[in-house]
Chain A
C-alpha cells in the first residue's frame, strides 16, 4: 500500500526500508512534526481524525499521480491518527528515484497534495484550555458573519 494510517508512532527506519531499491540512486523523505505554537496560540497536543476509506484512496491517487509526473521508483506516505504529543511525527513521506532531483520534487509534491486533498482533520488543544479544528473554526466564524 502506498498510503496508510497508523495509531502508533511512525517507525521511520522501517518505512525507509520498504523503499530500498538497488536501482535507486537517491532517497528523500519528509517528516511533519507536532509543533508547540500555531496562529498565536500555545499548543499542548494534537488530535488527528480521518475518513480513512476515502483518505487511503485519495492518498494512493496522489502517489500514483506523482509517479506519473516524476521519474521515481517508489513512494510511501504514512499518517498518524489519534492523540499526538509535541515533537511526535504526524506524517512521513519517503520517495526513492534514480536521481535525487525527482526524489526531492516528488516528496514535496506528495506532502503538499496530502495536506490539501486528503480527508484528515486536526484538532489543536491549547494551553489556555481552548481547542479548535484547524481550518474549520475561523472559516466557520466567517460564515456566521453576514
Chain B
C-alpha cells in the first residue's frame, strides 16, 4: 500500500526530507518504523517515540490503510 510519511526535527534531519510517499507492506506503525529505521539509520527506538496517523495520536499496533498519513513524534521539548 501507499502511505505518506512526514518527518519533524531529528527525524527530518536524519531522513533528509520532511515528507515522502512510500510503497510498503508494513501492517502497523511499529512495522513501518522498523523498516524506516533501517533505511534512514534513525537513532531513536520506537519506544522513545509516539506516532500520529491522519493528524491524531495513534497506537503502534493500529492497522494501516492505503493513503494514511503517518508522523513519528520524537521526544518533545516545547516551552
Contact = CB atoms under 8 A, between A and B. Distances in A.
A54 B77 contact: no
A108 B51 CA distance: 27
Interface in A102-146: 111, 114-123, 133-137, 139-141, 143-144
Contact size range, B? 20 to 34
A58 to B, nearest CB: 8
Contact of B76 (A90, A111, A123, A135): A135
Contacts of B57: 54, 58
B55 A118 contact: no
Given A51-B73, A140-B44, A144-B43, A121 B56 contact: no
B16 interface: no
B24 to A, nearest CB: 21
Contacts, number: 86
Contact of A111 (B10, B50, B77, B79): B79
Given A51-B73, A54-B71, A139-B44, A121 B79 contact: no
A79 interface: yes
Among A54, A57, A117, A136, the one with the most B-chain Cβ atoms within 10 Å of its Cβ is A136
B10 A140 contact: yes
The 7 closest A-B pairs by CB, nearest first: A120-B78, A121-B9, A140-B43, A115-B79, A134-B77, A135-B75, A122-B77
Given A79-B79, A114-B78, A135-B75, 16 more contacts: A53-B55, A91-B78, A111-B79, A117-B76, A119-B8, A119-B73, A120-B76, A120-B77, A120-B79, A123-B9, A139-B44, A139-B48, A140-B44, A140-B48, A141-B43, A143-B44
